[in-house]
Every structure is written in structure tokens, then in C-alpha cells.
Amino acid sequence: VTNGGKTTLAKKLKERLPNCDIISQDDFFKPESEVETDERGFKLYDVLDALYMEEMVKRVRSWMKSPAVSGVVMEEPQNTCDNVKNTDVYILIVEGFLLYNYEPLNELWNRRYFLTLPYEECKRRRSTRVYQPADTPGYFDGHVWPMYLKYKSELEENASNIVYLDGTKSQEELLSCVYSDIIQELKKLRE
């Protein structure tokens, strides 16, 4: 969901996890001139066609081939628990709003988390952000929220192994939940 805390959560996880890097879907938006406009004049940014998804898959696969040379920060994070210090496991966090609706990425995930927000909170948060280009009047209700509902519905019908997280919880609660899950996965890998 837009403004659900995806980027903030990813950055906080990176601060705590060893050998961790982030790829953000927002880095793959096409320029405004290449994004379609609907009959109401809304730029259709909340669809897969607004993104260079093939390039994103290439970047993820490239990272997977050589994580140690991908620019990952190798210093030990301050808050890492003892169970994962000095690990030779590399962690890639891929964050974005349409990750699980793009089939070529679905075969790559070890873990999947989906942040949700109720309509009013999502709209409130979105109204506090400044976008380039700026949201036009009615854009949230006419495009952003309907696309979120559409893609969320598709996930619920077609995808499995997704952990749904309540984005209204504090960042610390979300961080604790996801961090604990990742630590458990790392322990399994070390055994």
C-alpha cells in the first residue's frame, strides 16, 4: 500500500541485519513521458507498465549472482543479535508496491511481507507527501486506492506464503515482527 512504511521498514532492517542490501521498486519508474494517462487525465503510475520491471529483475538476479560485490555494506550493524553476527549469508530486501504481482520475481522470494492500511489512514498519509509529478485532485480516489485494492485482491486469490502486516502499527512493532522472522530463517540456514 502506498505510504504504508515499506521503505522505512526496509532501511531499519538493513541497519540491523549483516550483509544486507536493498533494491527499491521506486528506482525503476519510467519517466513521466512514458507513463500512460487515462481518460480522466490521471497518470497511471500504480500499474506494472509504469515501471521498468525487466530491469528490476535483472538487478535482483545480478545481486543474487554476486552479493559480495554488489555494494552491500559489510560492516557489522550495531543492533544485530549474536545469532547472526559473522554470518556468510547475504540478505537482499526488495521493497515496492507491485512486487508480488510480477511473475518473474515470484520465483525469487524467500519471504514475503505485505503492508496494509485502512483507506482513511492511507489517504491521510498520502496527502502529507510531495510527489513529482504532484498528485492531481481526485488521483488517490480515482487511481491509487482502486489499484491497491485490485492488486491486493489478486494477491489474495493467487499468491501464497505472504505475511500481511498492519501498517498502522508502530515501526518498532513492524520491525520486531519481521526481524524476528528473518532471524529464525537465518538460524535455519546456518544449521
The residues annotated with a catalytic role in the active site are: 26
The string over 17-48, giving b where at least 16 C-beta atoms fall within 10 Å of a residue's C-beta and e elsewhere, is bbbbbbbebeebeeeeeebeeeeeebbebbbe
Residue 134 DSSP code: P
CB atoms within 10 A of CB 88: 9
Closest CA to 5 of 172, 185, 130: 172
> How far from 21 is each of 66, 151, 154, CA to CA, in Å?
12, 26, 28
Report cis status (omega within 30 of 0) of the bond before 133.
yes
Helices (H), ranges, 44-168: 53-65, 103-106, 119-127, 139, 145-158
CA 9 to CA 175: how far, in whole Å? 6
CA 190 to CA 56: how far, in whole Å? 29
